[in-house]
Amino acid sequence: MDDIYTGKITIKKFVKFVWPSVLMMLIIALYYGMDSIFVANLAGEEALAALSIAYPVQGIIWGISVMLASGSSAIVAIKMGEGKQQEADEKYTSICVVSLLLGCAITAAGLVFMDPVVSFLGATEELTQYCDDFLTIIVWGCPGAFLGVLFEYFIRVDGRPGFTLLLYLSGGVTHLLLDYILMGPLDMGIKGTAWANLGGLYMIMIIGGVYFLLMKTKLSFRRFKPDWRFIGHSFVNGSSEMVSESSAGITTFFFNYVTIALVGEVGAAAVSIVLNIHYLMISLHLGYIMGVAPLISYFYGAREYEKVNTLIKYSKVFISVTSVVSAAACLIFGEYIVMAFERPGSELFDIALTGTRLLASALFLCGMNIFASGFFTAYGNGKVSAVISASRALIMVIAGLMVLSWLFGMTGVWLSLTFAEIATLALTAVMIVKYKGVYNYRF
């Protein structure tokens, strides 16, 4: 993998470096989607609705973990590109320690305030126990999630993106096996899928830790020296990724609120299905920017701007192709995708199918917005990245949801995602033009 850093960038080297991240995100999306499939088929519609109600907590946990990892890894990659290896090692050690401590603190807070959290999420009387059972277990995964995601990002910075695929394959297989065993033969219901989540998270953390402790790596642990300026910069720089990831949880909260008001608890179950499909489709873009971002950071730090422009050229092709493919998949195969969650003929199936087909327009437009957000993070410009991410994944979604659902009912609910992407594309274009001279790139 050193060749892509030191030699000419070719399509073969580029694909070899980036494809593990794309496949990894697909695997993550698939095994989180499998949670909903197992719950829908083995625990029932109410449990599936509860999974949607509880999702905002998972989204925020995942968002914080990605914020820590993406924000800090971009800074460390730039230091490596500048030839400052010892400083890179010290910063890496610092973020690992802070991530572990923060994960433990959030677990403790979650256990203490669980009842108010479940109530705030809007769980109905019928769904409260399901939500409580699920979340009481899930919050124990915070330390594993924070360190696991951190190791995954830094293994990519270390030059071995292929190993991250092994990381998530191991976690995904563990997760799915536990889903089957705990929800099938052991009949543990929604608690079973919560324990399966934990098993997958801690498997990733363990394998990632073994990589840095036992293998020969560029990055290595050093004596812990608190670097609060770096920690603060990591939080700010990764804030866009936190918005992007945790906003899925926040917007799910609003989706649940609106759909329950419109059609009852079946609406929350439909939200679980449609947003799982949405996440699966955009995982192509999320995985791609995760794979290419370390290269952009490194070459920017090394002042090799032409190599960044080569990456941009490849990126435009990837975004165009995957946008068309994902949109077409929802239009053509939407019925078969929804059948994985629910049998045809039910109210839930009909609502989810309509939502899946209306996703197509949002998926056709989202690629450039997702890329631009990660692109500016790679330059260490977390503020611009956060603005783009907050627009497409949070602010404009909620604005569109409130207005369009009032005008068009459930059709308006699903079209809110398209509204957000259209509004954000204009913002993305402005930011790309504005910073063209600052970072010496060409679009």
Query: What pLDDT, on the 0 to 100 scale, is given for residue 50?
Result: 84
The token pair that represents 393 in the structure block: 């994944």
The token pair that represents 84 in the structure block: 């400052």
Q: Does the pLDDT value for residue 401 go beyond 90?
A: yes
Q: How confident is the model at residue 241 (pLDDT cuts 50, 70, 90)?
A: low
pLDDT digits (tens, 9 = 90+) for 12-66: 888 888 888 888 788 778 877 877 888 888 887 788 888 888 888 888 888 888 8
Asked if residue 309 lies in contact with residue 441, where contact means CB atoms within 8 angstroms, the answer is yes
Looking up tokens 């990764």, which residue turns up? 238
pLDDT (average), residues 236-241: 70
Query: What pLDDT, on the 0 to 100 scale, is given for residue 443?
Result: 77
Q: Minimum mean pLDDT among 157-161, 323-327, 378-382: which range?
A: 157-161
157 or 203: which carries more pLDDT confidence?
A: 203
Alpha-carbon span 266 to 348, nearest angstrom: 6
Q: Does the pLDDT value for residue 243 go beyond 70?
A: no
Q: Minimum mean pLDDT among 5-9, 209-213, 270-274, 423-427: which range?
A: 5-9
Helical pair 305-339 and 11-42, crossing angle rounded to 10 deg: 30
Asked if residue 65 lies in contact with residue 312, where contact means CB atoms within 8 angstroms, the answer is no
Residue 257 exposed, middle or buried by CB count within 10 Å (0-12, 13-18, 19+): middle
Q: Minimum mean pLDDT among 87-91, 177-181, 194-198, 414-418: which range?
A: 87-91
CA 367 to chain centre: 14
Q: How confident is the model at residue 397 (pLDDT cuts 50, 70, 90)?
A: very high
Q: The pTM is what?
A: 0.77
The token pair that represents 422 in the structure block: 């259209």
Highest average pLDDT, of 35-44, 180-189, 355-364, comes from 355-364
Looking up tokens 């929604």, which residue turns up? 190
Highest average pLDDT, of 152-156, 241-245, 318-322, comes from 318-322
pLDDT (average), residues 237-257: 78
Q: Does the pLDDT value for residue 1 go beyond 50?
A: no
Q: Minimum mean pLDDT among 5-9, 275-279, 400-404: which range?
A: 5-9
Beta strands per DSSP E along 312-427 = none
Asked if residue 158 lies in contact with residue 219, where contact means CB atoms within 8 angstroms, the answer is yes
Q: What percent of the chain has pLDDT over 90?
A: 30
Count Cβ neighbours within 10 Å for each residue of 150-174 and write b for 16 or more, e otherwise: bbbbbbbbbbbbbbbbebbbbbbeb
Query: What pLDDT, on the 0 to 100 scale, is given for residue 245?
Result: 67
Q: Does the pLDDT value for residue 246 go beyond 80?
A: no
Q: Does the pLDDT value for residue 379 go beyond 90?
A: no
Query: What pLDDT, on the 0 to 100 scale, is given for residue 400?
Result: 95
Alpha-carbon span 324 to 361, nearest angstrom: 10
SS3 helix, strand, coil % of the chain, rounded to 5? 85, 0, 15
Query: What pLDDT, on the 0 to 100 scale, is given for residue 244?
Result: 64
Average pLDDT, the chain: 86
Query: What pLDDT, on the 0 to 100 scale, is given for residue 159?
Result: 74
pLDDT (average), residues 304-309: 87
For residue 323, what are the CA distances in angstroms to 296, 317, 425? 22, 10, 14
Alpha-carbon span 309 to 305, nearest angstrom: 6
Q: Does the pLDDT value for residue 187 go beyond 90?
A: no
